[in-house]
C-alpha cells in the first residue's frame, strides 16, 4: 500500500499530504464564499415572514435577521411577535448590520383582512423583496368523522390565506421587476397519507398554485420556491385540529423525531440565496414514497391502505 502511494506521488510530482491540504483549503474557501454570498444576497433586503411568533417561522426570523435582512414579522399574537423582536435584538452578533423588525398582526385564515394587512406590510419599507409564506395548521382525523367546516378551516389557513397574501403583494413585485416568493408546503403536498386528508389536500393545492405562479411570473424576473419538509420538531401536531374542530393536543412520535426547525430555516435561507425552485427535505423513505407514487402508483396505494388499517387498529385499542 505504501509503495503504491509513493509511486502515485512520483507520477503526480507531488505528495499526498499537500494534495489533502489543498483539498481542505478549497472546501474552506467555498464555505467562505457561500457565507459572503448569503450576506450579499440578503443584506438590507425586506423579508416578510408569516407565522413568525413560534416554530419554524421564529427560526426563519433568526436566520434571516442574522443575514442582515429587514424583517416584517407577521402573526396573530402581537405580544409574542414583540417577544421575538426583543430576542433578535439581544442575539445580534455585531458582525452583520441588522435591523429591528417591524410587526404586522393579522389572522391569515381571515382572507377578508389580508388585503389591508398587505397594505400595512408595504407601508413598512415601501416594498417586499422576499415573502415567506410559513403560517399553517395541521389536522388529524378520519374523513368519516370530519365535518366539512374543519376541511374548510384548514384550507383557509394553509391555502387561501397564503394565496390571498401572495396576490396582494405580487403587483408591487411585478412593478419593480424583482421579488422572491417562498411557501412552506410539505411532503404531504406531494403524497397523501391516511388520516391527514384536510392537511394533505391543502398542501397539494399549495404545491399546484405556486408551481403555476412560478411559470407565470418568471417573465417578470420573479422567483418562486416551494419548500416541502417532512415532519419538523415543532408544536404543529399539538396544535393540529381534529374532525370536530377540537385541538389534537398530542406530540406525535414522528413529529418529536422530525427535522430540527433550525436546519429547515437554513434550508429556506439557502433556497432564497440560490433561487431553488422546489426543495424536498425528507429522509430516504418519504423521498422514496414520492417517487413510488409517480413510478409505481399501485404499490403506493397498497402501502397507504396498509398504513390506514394499522393506524385505525392503534386508534381503536
Q: Are residues 236 and 302 in the same domain?
A: no
23 belongs to a structural domain = no
Cell of 209: 398554485
pLDDT of residue 140: 95
For 293, the domain range is: 285-316
**Residue position matching grid coordinates 408551481:** 211
Q: Are residues 160 and 304 in the same domain?
A: no
Q: Are residues 109 and 204 in the same domain?
A: yes
CATH number of 251's domain = 3.40.50.720
Tally of residues, the chain:
317
pLDDT of residue 33: 46
Q: Are residues 311 and 173 in the same domain?
A: no
19 belongs to a structural domain = no
pLDDT of residue 89: 86
15 belongs to a structural domain = no
Q: Are residues 311 and 203 in the same domain?
A: no
Q: Can you give the chain as a three-state secondary structure string?
A: CHHHHHHHHHHHCCCHHHHHHHHHHHHHHHHHHHHHHHHHHHCCCEEEECCCCCHHHHHHHHHHHHCCCEEEEEECCHHHHHHHHHHHHHHCCCCCCCCCCEEEECCCCCHHHHHHHHHHHHHHHCCCCEEEECCCCCECCCHHHCCHHHHHHHHHHHHHHHHHHHHHHHHHHHHHCCCEEEEECCHHHCCCCCCCHHHHHHHHHHHHHHHHHHHHHHHHCCEEEEEEECCECCCCCCCCECCCCCECCCCCHHHHCCECHHHHHHHHHHHHHCCCCEEEECCHHHHHHHHHHHHCHHHHHHHHHHHHHHHHHHHHC
Number of domains in the chain: 2
Q: Are residues 203 and 311 in the same domain?
A: no
pLDDT of residue 36: 46
188 belongs to a structural domain = yes
Taking CA atoms, 99 is separated from 64, 65, 275, in Å, by 11, 7, 24
Q: Are residues 106 and 250 in the same domain?
A: yes
| Closest alpha carbon to 290 in 231, 282, 195, 298 | 282
Q: Are residues 246 and 161 in the same domain?
A: yes
Q: Which of these is catalytic: 139, 199, 231, 291?
A: 199
Q: Are residues 114 and 139 in the same domain?
A: yes
User: Active site includes 159?
Assistant: no
CA distance 67 to 39: 5
Q: Are residues 153 and 250 in the same domain?
A: yes
Q: Are residues 186 and 296 in the same domain?
A: no
- Tens digits of pLDDT across the chain (317 residues): 555 545 545 545 555 565 556 555 556 654 544 554 545 689 999 999 999 999 999 999 999 999 999 999 999 999 999 999 999 986 666 678 999 999 999 999 999 999 999 999 999 999 999 999 999 999 999 999 999 999 999 999 999 999 999 999 999 999 999 999 999 999 999 999 999 999 999 999 999 999 999 999 999 999 999 999 999 988 888 889 999 999 898 888 888 877 899 999 999 999 999 999 999 999 999 999 999 999 999 999 999 999 999 987 655 44
138 belongs to a structural domain = yes
Q: Are residues 164 and 306 in the same domain?
A: no
pLDDT of residue 3: 54
pLDDT of residue 255: 84
229 belongs to a structural domain = yes
17 belongs to a structural domain = no
133 belongs to a structural domain = yes
Amino acid at each position: 500500500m505504501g509503495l503504491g502511494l509513493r509511486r502515485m506521488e512520483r507520477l503526480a510530482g507531488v505528495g499526498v499530504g499537500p494534495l489533502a491540504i489543498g483539498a481542505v483549503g478549497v472546501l474552506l474557501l467555498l464555505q467562505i464564499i457561500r457565507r459572503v454570498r448569503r450576506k450579499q444576497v440578503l443584506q438590507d433586503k425586506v423579508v416578510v415572514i408569516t407565522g413568525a411568533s413560534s416554530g419554524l417561522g421564529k427560526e426563519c426570523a433568526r436566520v434571516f435577521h442574522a443575514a442582515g435582512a429587514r424583517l416584517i414579522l407577521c402573526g396573530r399574537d402581537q405580544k409574542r411577535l414583540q417577544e421575538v423582536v426583543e430576542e433578535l435584538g439581544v442575539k445580534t452578533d455585531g458582525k452583520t448590520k441588522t435591523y429591528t423588525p417591524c410587526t404586522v398582526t393579522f389572522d391569515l385564515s381571515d382572507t377578508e383582512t389580508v388585503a389591508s394587512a398587505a397594505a400595512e406590510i408595504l407601508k413598512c419599507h415601501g416594498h417586499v423583496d422576499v415573502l415567506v409564506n410559513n403560517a399553517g395548521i395541521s389536522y388529524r382525523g378520519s374523513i368519516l368523522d370530519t365535518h366539512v367546516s374543519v376541511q374548510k378551516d384548514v384550507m383557509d389557513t394553509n391555502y387561501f390565506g397564503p394565496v390571498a397574501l401572495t396576490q396582494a403583494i405580487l403587483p408591487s413585485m411585478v412593478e419593480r421587476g424583482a421579488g422572491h416568493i417562498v411557501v412552506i408546503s410539505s411532503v404531504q403536498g406531494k403524497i397523501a397519507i391516511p388520516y391527514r386528508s384536510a392537511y394533505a389536500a391543502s398542501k397539494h393545492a399549495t404545491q399546484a398554485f405556486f408551481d403555476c405562479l412560478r411559470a407565470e411570473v418568471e417573465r417578470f424576473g420573479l422567483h418562486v420556491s416551494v419548500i416541502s419538509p417532512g415532519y419538523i420538531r415543532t408544536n404543529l401536531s399539538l396544535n393540529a385540529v381534529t374532525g370536530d374542530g377540537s385541538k389534537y393536543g398530542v406530540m406525535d412520535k414522528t413529529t418529536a423525531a422530525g427535522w430540527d426547525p433550525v436546519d429547515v430555516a437554513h434550508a429556506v435561507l439557502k433556497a432564497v440565496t440560490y433561487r431553488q425552485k422546489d426543495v424536498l427535505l425528507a429522509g430516504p423513505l418519504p423521498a422514496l414514497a414520492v417517487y413510488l407514487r409517480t413510478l409505481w402508483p399501485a404499490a403506493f396505494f397498497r402501502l397507504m391502505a396498509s398504513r390506514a388499517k394499522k393506524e385505525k387498529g392503534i386508534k381503536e385499542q
